[in-house]
Amino acid sequence: MNVDSDPVMVPRPIVVAARALCRKRGEMYLLDNINLDILKGEKIAVLGPSGAGKSTLIRCFNQTEVHDSGTLSIDGQVIDRTTDLVKLRGMVGLVFQTYHLFPHLSVLDNCTLAPRLVRDMPLMQARALALGFLEQVGISEQAEMYPHQLSGGQQQRVAIARALCMQPRIMLFDEPTAALDPEAIRGVMNIINELCAAGITAIFVTHEMGFARHVADRIVFMDRGRILETTPATSFFEAPRSTRARIFLDRMLCL
């Protein structure tokens, strides 16, 4: 669908590199020997049945979940216990399935809070920045409203704008469309496409096969903490390599 926007075929830098990444809870492996490279500007959909470790994986990328072993590099930097988390989370934004907007703050204040506290940004500059991103996600008219006055789709856009205000290079989306109607899903789709056109890398967990098919460049298919295959989106939906993925797709499509 989306033609690669890089006209000169220079190799794009790797922004996320995972090697033998593991995360355990008790004796169970939530992540089991994960190896994955993600390039700058790529759109990656992480698919798989519930409990496959999809959310755990993407949350490791901004260390809201911490891996137990293996190495993880973000933008060339190895992430370990000594990593400056404030800096890392400024670079890697996360949007939640249920948005988690701050209900006591207006849309604009939701967006300016973190830049002002974490980056010591002056109020006026933070507001200008936030209004820019709210404009980009098409919700600048609601800047003075409170979250409970917005629809689900509008709240999702605010959550995206709030994450963008930290000016991340990588955006993680944890089931961004789970609670949205088809109209709103199309809106989120467009936003992600725009972001990636501007050089941001988008990694999202989803159960919406149509969404993954239309947005993603590549599909990462997981089950029981392992990556079973990493395939370009078009070939994955036409001919998945792994048997597990084939069964999964059959079930998803023939509900």
| Interface ranges with other proteins (CB under 8 A) | 62, 64, 85-90, 93-94, 96, 98-104, 113-114, 117-118, 146-148, 150-152, 155, 162-163, 166, 179
Rounded to the nearest angstrom, the gap between the alpha carbon of residue 6 and the centroid of all alpha carbons in its chain is 21
Residue 92 CB, shortest distance to other proteins, in Å, is 9
**Which CB sits closer to other proteins, 49 or 152?**
152
Report the SS3 class of residue 176: coil
Q: How far is CA 167 from CA 111, 116, 126, 130, in A?
A: 11, 13, 11, 10
Q: Where are the alpha helices (DSSP H) in the chain?
A: 54-61, 85-91, 107-119, 123-136, 152-164, 182-197, 209-215, 233-238, 243-253
Residue 114 CB, shortest distance to other proteins, in Å, is 4
Nearest-CA neighbor of 4 among 36, 42, 37, 38?
Answer: 42
Return the amino acid letter for 44: I
Residue 74 CB, shortest distance to other proteins, in Å, is 14
Residue 151 CB, shortest distance to other proteins, in Å, is 5
Torsion sign (Cα): 45, 50, 51, 56: positive
**Which CB sits closer to other proteins, 37 or 80?**
80
Residue 149 CB, shortest distance to other proteins, in Å, is 9
**Which CB sits closer to other proteins, 192 or 227?**
192
**Which CB sits closer to other proteins, 85 or 247?**
85
Residue 213 CB, shortest distance to other proteins, in Å, is 24
**Which CB sits closer to other proteins, 116 or 214?**
116
C-alpha–C-alpha distance, residues 131 and 139, integer Å: 9
**Which CB sits closer to other proteins, 101 or 245?**
101
CA dihedral 86, 89, 91, 97 (to 10 degrees): -160
Residue 170 CB, shortest distance to other proteins, in Å, is 12
**Which CB sits closer to other proteins, 99 or 204?**
99
Residues 6+ apart with CB under 8 A from 95: 156, 159, 160, 163, 171, 172, 173, 174, 176
C-alpha–C-alpha distance, residues 70 and 83, integer Å: 15
